[in-house]
């Protein structure tokens, strides 16, 4: 039995090791300081970097997090604190459906809402799509973590003369916060690698741009564009960009672990 379980673990971890391994083998060679600080060079030349895509990914994911994290946390807090209410039931149901929705559908949604009316692609539409993907994940993880806070703590605060809202915010949410931060960072890391919704919204941009109303380059799109291109140097480039994308996700995950470590105690995620 133990042997079977160990076998399952190996099978589960193996693809991950292969992916990481081949990314490092094929991508690390093209990584240099220039890769992080320079713009791409025309086909045929060597060198250059993906500064525009790194900055673009940070901006798009950053704005998505600013929109998605507070909404997801607030909805999760409500669902956990008023579990019987109709709103909570509806929100939970919608979130579960949303969690299973293909991301390209969300991309189409942002396309219809922002890109089509203004008749040009925009980074903001990309942020919107990523935020929509993020909210149900954050809501559900927040709800689960808040449910772990013992009811006795809630009662202690109420008995001390805390108002209901104050108990929710300063005792319950505060106690569950490290886990919620972890859940949110994992949700952010998860959407940072999304490609399909960005193809329909932020599109991509071969120039450096910080205009959130216009098209913007992102790391997943760089991988897509250069991997499907005809040149060997482009393929190298795509490997390196994929490695950087994985590193960004890795850094976020490690940040999530560090955020979980806290002064005293409370729920952990």
Binding region for another protein (CB under 8 A): 150, 152-153, 155-163, 166, 171, 174-175, 177, 262-266
Q: How far is the CB of 173 from another protein (least distance, A)?
A: 10
Contacts of 51 (CB under 8 A, 6+ apart): 36, 37, 38, 39, 208
Q: How far is the CB of 148 from another protein (least distance, A)?
A: 12
Q: How far is the CB of 165 from another protein (least distance, A)?
A: 11
Cite the DSSP H helix spans in 82-173: 86-99, 103-110, 116-118, 123-147, 151-159, 164-166
Q: Which is nearer to another protein, 84 or 100 (CB)?
A: 84
Q: Which helix (H) or strand (E) holds 171?
A: none
Q: Which is nearer to another protein, 46 or 152 (CB)?
A: 152
Q: Which is nearer to another protein, 48 or 266 (CB)?
A: 266
Which of 228, 73, 195 is CA-nearest to residue 140?
73
Q: How far is the CB of 62 from another protein (least distance, A)?
A: 27
Residue located via tokens 């009662």: 155
Q: How far is the CB of 122 from another protein (least distance, A)?
A: 41
DSSP symbols for 52-64: HHHHHHHHHHHHH
Cα dist from 109 to 64, 116, 192, whole Å: 15, 10, 18
The pair of structure tokens assigned to 33 is: 């300081």
CB of 134 within 8 A of CB of 226? no
Q: How far is the CB of 256 from another protein (least distance, A)?
A: 18
| Sequence-distant contacts of 165-173: CB under 8 A, at least 24 apart | 168/77, 168/81, 172/77, 172/80, 172/81, 172/146, 173/73, 173/77, 173/146
């Amino acid at each position: 039995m133990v042997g079977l379980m160990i076998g399952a673990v190996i099978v589960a971890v193996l693809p991950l090791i292969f992916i990481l391994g081949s990314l490092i083998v094929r991508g690390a060679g093209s990584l240099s300081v220039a890769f992080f600080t320079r713009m791409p060079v025309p086909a045929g030349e060597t060198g250059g970097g993906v500064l525009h895509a790194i900055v673009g990914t940070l901006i798009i994911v950053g704005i998505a997090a600013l929109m998605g994290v507070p909404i997801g946390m607030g909805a999760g807090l409500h669902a956990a604190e008023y579990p019987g209410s109709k709103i909570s039931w509806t929100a939970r149901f919608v979130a579960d459906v949303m969690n299973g929705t293909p991301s390209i559908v969300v991309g189409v949604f942002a396309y219809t809402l922002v890109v089509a009316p203004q008749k040009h692609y925009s980074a903001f539409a990309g942020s919107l799509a990523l935020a929509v993907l993020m909210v149900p994940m954050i809501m559900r993880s927040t709800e689960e973590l808040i449910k772990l806070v013992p009811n006795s703590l809630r009662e202690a605060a109420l008995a001390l003369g805390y108002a209901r809202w104050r108990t929710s915010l300063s005792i319950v949410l505060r106690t569950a916060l490290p886990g919620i931060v972890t859940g949110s960072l994992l949700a952010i890391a998860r959407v940072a690698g999304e490609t399909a919704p960005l193809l329909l919204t932020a599109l991509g941009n071969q120039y450096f741009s910080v205009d959130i109303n216009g098209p913007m380059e992102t790391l997943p799109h760089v991988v897509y564009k250069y991997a499907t291109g005809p040149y060997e140097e482009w393929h190298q480039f795509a490997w390196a960009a994929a490695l950087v994308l994985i590193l960004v996700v890795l850094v976020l995950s490690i940040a999530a672990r560090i955020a979980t470590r806290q002064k005293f105690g409370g729920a952990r995620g």
